[in-house]
């Protein structure tokens, strides 16, 4: 199995990027090619993005953001002026050269089809806590329901955010997506009943327990970054409510382990259908196949299979 530590350069806080003389602004165009914004924001890796036409509004960290795919890049708008946009480049991973990733995919028919269908799909680099909490809440839920739970959680327990007047929706009253994702400290201050009221059911005690461990310092959100994949995975699985699949999601979507390969039902279906036809591999066999077959960017390949299966193969 490839044990690939996160590539520091792809989460770079590039020292060459001077911001000493940069002006503050509420808009920017991040230049990028090979980027399918809609596929990326709507492929089950993040749950707070809302489409309105061809623009997407959401929250990254403590900032409300509206994104639009434009010729040559991604147009971004924030509510408050920004001097240094590196946080958004990191989140969207616009500095990753997709060609390099796709060239290392296995050269087989299923991957060629998936690339043809989803080219431009990216893996985001999300905040570890939001990602961990979101995927604890994802267990045994479908994407629409996960979005609902997280929207309720943010409205009820997250800090309100500033919005530009243009973001106020005339019919809904406009506070959708205008809350921070609640910090561990916010969650700790909640009760299990209050969390259950966000429709998360049996996941409530898991979320609360994880928040407590993190808030009181027993579990360090930064530690997995510096561990080999297998150890980082074990750390995550030490938390209640985090099994192998959810651990792999957090490793891939937050910590940048490109070789982490989450296998959910959709990916399992894709693997069975595209690589195993009518045979019946065990889950263990599928995992070992995935670990050896898809190379250093297996997680990226997984995202392509996932999106391809959901949007094109059904």
Partner DNA sequence: AGCCAGGCTTGGT
Partner DNA sequence: ACCAAGCATGGC
Query: 244 in helix, strand or coil?
Result: helix
Given the complex with DNA, which of 86 and 139 has the nearer CB atom?
139
Maximum separation of any 2 CA atoms in the chain, in Å: 61
Given the complex with DNA, which of 78 and 302 has the nearer CB atom?
302
Minimum CB separation of residue 205 from DNA in Å reads 9
Contact pick of 82, 246, 305, 309 for DNA (by CB under 7 A): 246
What does each C-alpha distance from 182 to 44, 61, 301 come to in angstroms? 20, 10, 31
Q: Does 287 bind DNA (CB under 7 A)?
A: no
Q: Does 282 bind DNA (CB under 7 A)?
A: no
Q: Which of residues 168-207 bind DNA (CB under 7 A)?
A: 199, 201-202, 206
- Only one residue has tokens 């434009």, namely 70
Q: Does 314 bind DNA (CB under 7 A)?
A: yes
Contact pick of 245, 272, 273, 287 for DNA (by CB under 7 A): 245
Minimum CB separation of residue 201 from DNA in Å reads 3
Given the complex with DNA, which of 75 and 272 has the nearer CB atom?
272
Query: 303 in helix, strand or coil?
Result: helix
Minimum CB separation of residue 144 from DNA in Å reads 4
- Only one residue has tokens 């408050």, namely 80
Given the complex with DNA, which of 118 and 250 has the nearer CB atom?
250
Contact pick of 132, 133, 190, 242 for DNA (by CB under 7 A): 242
Given the complex with DNA, which of 13 and 238 has the nearer CB atom?
238
DSSP 160: B
Q: Which two tokens stand for residue 149?
A: 């739970």
C-alpha to C-alpha distance for 148 and 92, rounded to whole angstroms = 23
Nearest in space to 161 (alpha carbons), one of 285, 57, 234, 302: 57
Query: 29 in helix, strand or coil?
Result: strand
C-alpha to C-alpha distance for 98 and 3, rounded to whole angstroms = 21
Given the complex with DNA, which of 102 and 291 has the nearer CB atom?
291
C-alpha to C-alpha distance for 163 and 298, rounded to whole angstroms = 38
Q: Does 150 bind DNA (CB under 7 A)?
A: no
For residues 100 to 139, the per-residue mask of contacts with DNA, x marking binding by CB under 7 A and - elsewhere, is: --------------------------------------xx
Contact pick of 58, 128, 158, 241 for DNA (by CB under 7 A): 241
Q: Which two tokens stand for residue 216?
A: 């009181």
Please, where are the H alpha helices in 24-78? 37-41
Query: 296 in helix, strand or coil?
Result: helix
Rg of the chain taking only CA atoms, in angstroms: 19
Contact pick of 244, 291, 293, 296 for DNA (by CB under 7 A): 244
DSSP 182: P
Given the complex with DNA, which of 140 and 218 has the nearer CB atom?
140
Contact pick of 12, 55, 94, 148 for DNA (by CB under 7 A): 148
Q: Which two tokens stand for residue 127?
A: 């905040």
- Only one residue has tokens 């959708």, namely 176
Chain residues in the site for DNA (CB under 7 A): 138-142, 144-145, 148, 199, 201-202, 206, 237, 239-247, 264-265, 314
């Amino acid at each position: 199995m490839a044990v690939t530590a996160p590539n520091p350069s792809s989460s770079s806080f590039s020292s060459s990027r001077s911001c000493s003389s940069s002006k503050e602004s509420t808009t920017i165009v991040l230049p990028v090619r090979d980027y399918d914004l809609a596929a990326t924001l709507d492929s089950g890796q993040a749950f707070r993005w809302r489409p309105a036409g061809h623009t997407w509004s959401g929250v990254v960290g403590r900032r409300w953001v509206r994104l639009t795919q434009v010729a040559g890049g991604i147009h971004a708008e924030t509510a408050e002026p920004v001097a240094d946009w590196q946080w958004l480049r990191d989140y969207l991973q616009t500095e990753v050269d997709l060609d390099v990733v796709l060239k290392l995919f296995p050269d087989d028919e299923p991957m060629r089809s998936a690339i043809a269908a989803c080219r431009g799909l990216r893996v985001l680099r999300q905040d570890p806590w939001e990602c961990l909490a979101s995927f604890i809440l994802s267990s045994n839920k479908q994407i629409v329901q996960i979005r609902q739970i997280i929207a309720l959680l943010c409205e009820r327990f997250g800090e309100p955010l500033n919005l530009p007047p243009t973001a106020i929706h005339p019919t809904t009253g406009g506070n959708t997506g205008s809350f921070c994702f609640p910090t561990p400290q916010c969650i700790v201050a909640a009760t299990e009943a209050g969390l259950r009221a966000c429709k998360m059911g049996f996941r409530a005690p898991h979320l609360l327990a994880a928040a407590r461990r993190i808030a009181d310092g027993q579990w360090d959100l930064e530690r997995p970054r510096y561990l080999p994949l297998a150890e980082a995975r074990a750390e995550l699985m030490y938390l209640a409510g985090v099994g192998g699949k959810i651990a792999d999601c957090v490793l891939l979507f937050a910590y940048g382990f490109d070789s982490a390969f989450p296998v959910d039902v959709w990916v399992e279906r894709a693997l069975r259908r595209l690589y195993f036809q009518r045979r019946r591999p065990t889950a263990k066999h599928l995992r070992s196949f995935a670990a050896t077959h898809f190379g250093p960017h297996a997680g990226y390949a997984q995202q392509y299979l996932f999106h391809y299966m959901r949007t094109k193969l059904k």
